[in-house]
Structure 1
Amino acid sequence: MKTHFTKLLYIILFVFTAGAVNAQNAKTTTAIHGILQNDQAKPMDYATVTLLRAKDSSVVKGTLTNDAGKYQFEGITAGRYMVKATTVGYQPAFTAAFEVDATTTAFTAPVIKILQNSQSLQGVTIIAAKPLIERKLDRTVMNVENSVLAAGNNALEILERAPGVTVDKDDNISVKGKQGVTVMINDKLTYMSAAQLATYLRSTDGSNIQSIEIITNPSAKYDASGNSGIINIKLKKNKLSGTNGSLTVNAAYGKNFRDNTSLTLNHKTGNLNLFGTLSRGDINRENLIDIDRYIDSASKTTYFKQKTTMLNHIHYNNYRFGADYSTSDKNTIGFVVNGDYTNEYNDNKSTTYLGLTPAANDSYQNTLTDMKQTYRSISANINDRLQLDTNGQALSFDLDYSRYHNNSDAKYDTYFFKPDGSSMSAPLFLTNQTPSFITIWTQKADYTKQLTKTLKFEAGAKFSSVKTDNDLQAQINNNGTFVNDTTRTNRFVYDEKIAAGYLNLGKTFAKTSVQAGLRAERTSSTGNLVTGNQVVKRQYLDFFPSVFINHTLSDKHEIGISYSRRIDRPNYDNLNPFRYYLDQYTYEQGNPFLKPQYTNSFELSYTYNKTINVTLGYSRTSDVSTQVLLTDSVTKATYQTNLNLQSQDSYNININSPYTIAKWWTGNINATGFYQKFKADSLLGGQLNAGKAAYQIRATQNFLFSGFKAEVSGNYQSSLRYGIFDIRPQYSVDAGVSRSFANKKLNVKLSVSDIFDTRRNNVSSHFQSVNLDIRQKNETRLGRLTLTYNFGNSKIKASQRQTGADDEKGRVKSGG
């Protein structure tokens, strides 16, 4: 591996050197730059822009506009040219022909105005929009803003529909079959574990989401965490001016009722821009779990049949507000404050039958769990963006502070019965409280400079400090009095500091662009199991290289290749050795000795006509952290934890293609095939060397008729193998319809998720001493009605400020 990478670096160095020599001997060239706008003079982002020779319309170069609608062509010799712009849903647009002479080093092309591709169908005006799925140079984008299904759904439910993304029964997110995904909100990592992230995403209204970006091979500019890449959820950038906003009200019903309301406001006066969002909601949901398992001991085999009903109620209040102030044309300072105030109540009823044969039980027990959890958080960001010159030289700073206070009060009442229903023994009453505090500080700086017309330099540094304090206080009933339970009471304190820096260098040739980067991260951590007097200290320095090469074969054919190395540090909750009980025979426990895992990823991509995208990927993860089930032959308990296995090899192919059947009927299909192989020389007393091929297909149909917009989406995932778990197939169908009223200010949307109520999470594991089958059914079939009203003026773009708090938030534990 190291030899191959060294050779690759030599190749990149040769390419850069050859480019520099050629540049010294080349003719004087010009940089042509310009801007693309719509008919309302608003910038058009990520449109295709092509430089043509005026005499014969032959293609010279092609590129994409950035998020400000700007584009640039480098290294253009003297001649007569014109520029063509195209994007989905708009008519092609051209500039007038213009002359570039040999004495000009920079030329501003005329502004391009592009018009929407409107067409009349039986007296109804139909305006094409961005496709649901788009493939860009380094990422796949799901345009949620245009989706009927976005209304009424929360962010987690929308994320489950993104290409190649799955969410399992424990809310772990996978991309192309691989776990270890890093989730960002507006380019800022969430600093939350799977459980807390799920709670946050469930409380985020889908109508506030603009798009979801899936970045499977990130550059050195991003934090090195996440072995299967990054999911970036982009919230809407309000482009209205003056005082404006929107109000969304949503109601949904399946087996239980849920509702949410959100209000967004923006105001701009002179150089000051204010923005804010308030949201509240109630989520009621049911989760059914059946577990069949058996445990072998020296003298006998015990069979367990467990049925659990989990009723969950979440009430949340979220807020986000901030401001930007332009001190000059080149400098903008700002701040953002986010807060969360969530209460969660869990009422679980579990019945477990025990016997020496599967058919007959010798006894059974009922466990009633009453759990109240609170989540309080506040995050603040101060930022400064300084444009040093007009050639793209810029400097930015971010300072972030986040504090989480989570608390859980739980009661476990277990009653024991004989097969005839009579009492078998005295009941067992347990209680516990688990206050948790997490504090995060981060400082980040980024610098960008255009060294030459074709050579771009980026550098940055970041420091983060994290402290978590978890105190489990457990009690057991003793003759009517609750006393301290020393077998469960524990305190775990974790400190972590990470210092990081990166360098990126990008070179553009006529049809090829190359970017090479290197990121270094030094980690120092201390895990202190206070009650058990166990201290785990670690210090390590890691380097994370990345290389990206993109080449345009012709107007319709593009290829790319990329490589990156990444790390996944254990989530804070996975390090915490506390036990979280479903009943006395089923619980979850952390592992303070978990090590970080490292992944080397390669990806080859091909794009045809900017629409059909094919990617091939391979990655190898060492010390892979994997969820496993262990058994205690003495207590008969089965518990879930995480262990480091030897390695994971992952192969995948993804094909995405939009299509048009008729003027009123468009669609998109995304197919992913993957194979994963896990290896461990020693696991539960045996060797693990298992893998299985699997696939996922997602198809979406969009319809426009008589003023209505409709969408139908279907998803199928085949059975797959993950570690010691076999996961059964999953499939579902969703549909929705919407229409606008009151001059498009009021939008009404009706949708149904999982129409046929087919989505289930069924898992089995039969490895060494583990023998169990799990059948889980969440409340997935929901009918939703959503009303959205937009109000205010429209001209000046409001702000959606990004911050610098990155990797650490992604590892916080909470409920949900």
Structure 2
Amino acid sequence: MKQLTKIFIIVALAFTGGRLNAQTTSPPRATVTGAFINDQSKPVDYATVTLLRAKDSTVVKGTLTNDAGRYVFDKITEGKYIIKGTSVGYQPAFTAAFDVVNGQTNVTAPVLNMTTASRSLQGVNVVASKPLIERKLDRTVMNVENSVLAAGNNALEILERAPGVTVDKDDNISLKGKQGVTVMINDKLTYMSAQQLTTYLRSTDGSNIQSIELITNPSSKYDASGNSGIINIKLKKNKMIGTNGSLTVNGAYGKNFRDNTSLTLNHKNGNLNVFATLTRGDINRENVIAIDRRVDSASKSTYFKQQTNMFNKIHYNNYRFGADYATSKKNTLGFVVNGDYTNEYNDNTGITRLGLTPAAADSYQTTIADMKQTYRSFSANINDKYQIDTLGQEISVDADYSKYRNNSDAVYDTYFFRPDGSTQRRPLFIANQTPSTITIWTQKVDYTLPITKTLKFEAGAKFSSVKTDNDLQAQVDSTGTVNSHQFVNDPTRTNRFVYDEKIAAGYINLGKTFTKTSVQLGLRAENTSSTGDLITYNQVVKRNYLNLFPSLFVNHTLSDKHELGFSYSRRIDRPNYDNLNPFRFYLDQYTYEQGNPFLRPQYTNSFELSYTYNKTINLTLGYSHTTDVSTQVILTDTITKATYQTNLNLNSQDSYNANVNSPFTITKWWTGNINATAFYQKFKSDSLLGGQLNAGKFAYQARLTQNFLFAGFKAEVSGNYQSSLRYGLFDIKPQYSVDAGVSRSFAQKKLNIKFSVSDIFDTRRNNVSSHYQNVNLDVRQKNETRLARLTLTYNFGNSKIKIRQHQSGADDEKGRVKSGN
């Protein structure tokens, strides 16, 4: 309790420190002015000016020179000072020491002469840029900011290009062949359902992304959710002093047109940093899915041949704004607000042919589905970071609130015909309304204490409360009349599902650095209490469990060119909110998706060994064992002959993987990166659908990216191949594609034009089959993947002087997410 009291005192002092200082009587103060000139005695504009105390070089204030090379510092107290000047293309310079005497009102500092840093080759502009793929201590980083292909693509499309990442036909994200990935935005995890996350990633423009971090074995500081690790999407932050921003407009065309406009604004002045992003866009896309399946009963087999043409139209608007303010030299207060306003329309037309043999149909039916969906979200975060001392001791506090509202209104019209086209029976008309609300509250505190220069202690605590409310209102037409539907309540499908979950967590980390070895030990504890209430059927599922999650990281430097690393962590995957929801979402009368409120959490122990050569070539070997593994399965109702997708717990999953990543340089204008992953996954279940599952398969992925510089242009070509693989009951067929793009900057790099084509040869397809027990199914899906994009970006405002990038106090909001539509 005493320690908790100390924490609140520290935070309170952070807010009141400025006020107490203001009440202290100030001594007389002076205005200090001066000027910078270069070797030709011309003014040096927009140079960084730093006022230092002469006795210990302590920084007092900072500013910039104006167009005339002059600067001003006001309210300077008595003492001896030095002016430091820095600017791009010049050597750092210092004035002689000068005095500010008590009683003076105006002081002129010595003129500072700036010397050119070095001679530059005429006509040659050397620009340093980060490689596309970087390997760091605990993560792999994909630097999207400088990639040509990022322009015009959304976040979900860019994720597909990250090393070891795949996105399947339902937008489920896998890392090194494993599902269960946790997605973060700016070190924060959003509590979104699968559908909400997919919509958010599709509406996040690639030009706003700085990098994507792949963390396969997170430390105890992170939430324990995510058996295959964390994907952290880092959005761009303001690095410039003054006011600046960018406007991005792009259009794309495949079979349909889509467009996007994004405006980013930043303002940095003294201790205040304000930022905002507004994005709007329209996505029109087509998707064709064909399903062949056989349903066996005691006396006969029925064959289904189904094809559904889907047209999807999305209009979205989202915003993000916030501010960081340094209330004192030790304290920074910040807030961030995000919102999304999206409307989605789906127009699906499907034909299903039924017969006793695969060759001939005895009847067929057509289903026309009209769905309208709205997504509304709002989230707010307030954070405070207080530096207790200059040795690195600090404390940060976060509080978060999020609310998501979804509404879906769907009507399904199904008509039944004989083989000759005559009407077989009365049509079936059904309707659904599925309002859904998710509300999240989280609070967390993190504390860091450097005990010595080589020993660091970290600790923290977090509490989260999540409530989801899903109300399925289902109707059926009572007349069967085509032009005048009269819907009445369908009690067999109407239901309401409410899910409450509370998680209390705490962690400790202890890190020690030796001469060539660094070690970090961590332990996290999480207590989960959840209640799933199927209100209409009066079914309640309650759970309460406490888990411990240890972690270990060891890194050893063998020599300047050889490094070894080892990591271990235990993690949990709680069921996704969508997967717990028992509602039925129909494609047609014989095809639907249904959640499972009885899903249990799965647990994973992960091990990884890494080797780095010359800080460029990276090799990792990994193994993980998952118990109670949750996976998608296809089930068949032999009475209604319907096939539906749901999630079940299998006994275990063993996963082995190896990854190699290497950049290469052929010439100074031709560079690239190659990334390859090989993995083997084995699934076991003692009693799945009345049989024993013991299935595994070796698979691999490879991506080759090449970058070219010529005549002021930058080009990029990327090729990707994924072999066939096995995941649970599904056999996934190979996938491959080629993307390319070219860009050029104009108007002193303020205007950038990029043209790119994704899936040039239109080869990317999602073909899946499942043959186990009474499940016999083949799926072929083709999305609209070949798109030509033109993107224009204009940067405006001050872009000359970069400042230290401000780090906010908010590090993590934890949740579990995965993508799927």
Task: Decide: shared fold, TM above 0.5.
Answer: yes
1:214 touches 1:229 (CA, 8 Å); kept in 2?
yes
| Residue 584 of structure 2, aligned match among 544, 557, 579 | 579
- CA separation of 1:297 and 1:674: change in aligned 2, threshold 3 A: same
2:359 corresponds to which residue? 359
| Residue 719 of structure 2, aligned match among 714, 717, 741 | 714
Task: Give how far 1:805 is off.
Answer: 5.8
Question: AA paired with 2:567?
Answer: S
2:525 corresponds to which residue? 520
Task: Give how far 1:373 is off.
Answer: 0.2
C-alpha separation between the residues in 2 aligned to 1:527 and 1:423? 44
C-alpha separation between the residues in 2 aligned to 1:125 and 1:739? 15
Task: Give how far 1:192 is off.
Answer: 1.8
> Any idea what SS the aligned residue of 1:698 has?
strand
Question: AA paired with 2:761?
Answer: F
1:238 touches 1:797 (CA, 8 Å); kept in 2?
no
**1:205-216 mapped onto 2 (5 Å cutoff):** 205-216=205-216
Of 675-684 and 265-274, the range deviating more from structure 2: 265-274
C-alpha separation between the residues in 2 aligned to 1:169 and 1:209? 24
C-alpha separation between the residues in 1 aligned to 2:248 and 2:121? 30
1:567 corresponds to which residue? 572
- CA separation of 1:650 and 1:357: change in aligned 2, threshold 3 A: same
2:474 corresponds to which residue? 474
1:406 corresponds to which residue? 406
Are 2:262 and 1:262 aligned?
Answer: yes
Question: AA paired with 1:308?
Answer: T
Are 2:694 and 1:689 aligned?
Answer: yes
2:144 touches 2:150 (CA, 8 Å); kept in 1?
yes
1:170 corresponds to which residue? 170
1:427 corresponds to which residue? 427
1:273 touches 1:798 (CA, 8 Å); kept in 2?
no
> Any idea what SS the aligned residue of 1:810 has?
coil
- CA separation of 1:181 and 1:364: change in aligned 2, threshold 3 A: same
1:396 touches 1:445 (CA, 8 Å); kept in 2?
yes
Question: AA paired with 1:808?
Answer: G
Task: Give how far 1:163 is off.
Answer: 0.2
Of 145-154 and 187-196, the range deviating more from structure 2: 187-196
C-alpha separation between the residues in 1 aligned to 2:268 and 2:787? 39
- CA separation of 1:299 and 1:802: change in aligned 2, threshold 3 A: farther
Are 2:735 and 1:745 aligned?
Answer: no
Task: Give how far 1:409 is off.
Answer: 0.1
**1:142-291 mapped onto 2 (5 Å cutoff):** 142-291=142-291
> Any idea what SS the aligned residue of 1:146 has?
coil
**1:430-445 mapped onto 2 (5 Å cutoff):** 430-445=430-445
| Residue 499 of structure 1, aligned match among 504, 514, 520 | 504
> Any idea what SS the aligned residue of 1:574 has?
helix
C-alpha separation between the residues in 2 aligned to 1:666 and 1:768? 50
Task: Give how far 1:807 is off.
Answer: 2.8
C-alpha separation between the residues in 2 aligned to 1:752 and 1:307? 28
> Any idea what SS the aligned residue of 2:761 has?
coil
> Any idea what SS the aligned residue of 2:373 has?
strand
- CA separation of 1:117 and 1:315: change in aligned 2, threshold 3 A: farther
2:611 corresponds to which residue? 606
1:532 corresponds to which residue? 537
Alignment gaps of 5+ in structure 1 = 1-39, 43-89, 94-112
| Residue 792 of structure 1, aligned match among 794, 797, 818 | 797
2:814 corresponds to which residue? 807
> Any idea what SS the aligned residue of 2:228 has?
coil
1:638 corresponds to which residue? 643
> Any idea what SS the aligned residue of 2:156 has?
helix
Question: AA paired with 1:684?
Answer: L
Task: Give how far 1:810 is off.
Answer: 2.4
Q: Superposition RMSD on alpha carbons, in Å?
A: 2.1
Are 2:763 and 1:731 aligned?
Answer: no
Task: Give how far 1:683 is off.
Answer: 0.5
1:28 corresponds to which residue? none
Are 2:597 and 1:588 aligned?
Answer: no
1:554 corresponds to which residue? 559
> Any idea what SS the aligned residue of 1:149 has?
helix
2:222 touches 2:812 (CA, 8 Å); kept in 1?
no
Task: Give how far 1:481 is off.
Answer: 2.2
Q: Deviations over 1:731-779 (max 9, x none)?
A: 0000000000000000000000000000000000000000010000000
Question: AA paired with 1:807?
Answer: K
Are 2:350 and 1:350 aligned?
Answer: yes
1:730 touches 1:759 (CA, 8 Å); kept in 2?
yes
Task: Give how far 1:126 is off.
Answer: 5.0
2:563 touches 2:613 (CA, 8 Å); kept in 1?
yes
C-alpha separation between the residues in 1 aligned to 2:648 and 2:118? 54
Task: Give how far 1:323 is off.
Answer: 1.1
Task: Give how far 1:809 is off.
Answer: 5.8
1:511 corresponds to which residue? 516
Q: Deviations over 1:370-409 (max 9, x none)?
A: 0000000000001001011111101000000000110000
Q: Deviations over 1:414-452 (max 9, x none)?
A: 000000111110100000100001100000100001001
C-alpha separation between the residues in 2 aligned to 1:313 and 1:681? 43
Q: Which of structures 1 and 2 has the bigger CA Rg?
A: 2
Task: Give how far 1:799 is off.
Answer: 5.3
Q: Deviations over 1:328-357 (max 9, x none)?
A: 011010111000000000000010000000
Question: AA paired with 2:746?
Answer: F
C-alpha separation between the residues in 2 aligned to 1:807 and 1:467? 15
C-alpha separation between the residues in 2 aligned to 1:317 and 1:805? 25
TM-score when normalising by structure 1: 0.85
> Any idea what SS the aligned residue of 2:145 has?
helix
C-alpha separation between the residues in 1 aligned to 2:660 and 2:160? 18
- CA separation of 1:551 and 1:804: change in aligned 2, threshold 3 A: closer
1:148 touches 1:749 (CA, 8 Å); kept in 2?
yes
**1:1-400 mapped onto 2 (5 Å cutoff):** 125=125, 127-400=127-400
C-alpha separation between the residues in 1 aligned to 2:515 and 2:121? 37
Task: Give how far 1:270 is off.
Answer: 3.0
Question: AA paired with 1:789?
Answer: Y
Are 2:676 and 1:671 aligned?
Answer: yes
- CA separation of 1:421 and 1:457: change in aligned 2, threshold 3 A: same
C-alpha separation between the residues in 1 aligned to 2:808 and 2:348? 41
Are 2:707 and 1:702 aligned?
Answer: yes
Question: AA paired with 2:776?
Answer: N
Q: Deviations over 1:49-95 (max 9, x none)?
A: xxxxxxxxxxxxxxxxxxxxxxxxxxxxxxxxxxxxxxxxx99x9xx
| Residue 775 of structure 2, aligned match among 757, 764, 770 | 770
C-alpha separation between the residues in 2 aligned to 1:292 and 1:116? 70
> Any idea what SS the aligned residue of 1:197 has?
helix
Question: AA paired with 1:444?
Answer: K
C-alpha separation between the residues in 2 aligned to 1:281 and 1:623? 41
> Any idea what SS the aligned residue of 1:157 has?
helix
1:189 touches 1:805 (CA, 8 Å); kept in 2?
yes
- CA separation of 1:41 and 1:394: change in aligned 2, threshold 3 A: farther
C-alpha separation between the residues in 1 aligned to 2:129 and 2:412? 53
Give identity over the alignment, percent.
80
Task: Give how far 1:806 is off.
Answer: 2.5
Question: AA paired with 1:686?
Answer: G
Question: AA paired with 2:215?
Answer: I
2:459 corresponds to which residue? 459
C-alpha separation between the residues in 2 aligned to 1:498 and 1:118? 59
- CA separation of 1:672 and 1:115: change in aligned 2, threshold 3 A: farther
Question: AA paired with 1:170?
Answer: D
TM-score when normalising by structure 2: 0.84
C-alpha separation between the residues in 2 aligned to 1:162 and 1:117? 39
1:104 corresponds to which residue? none
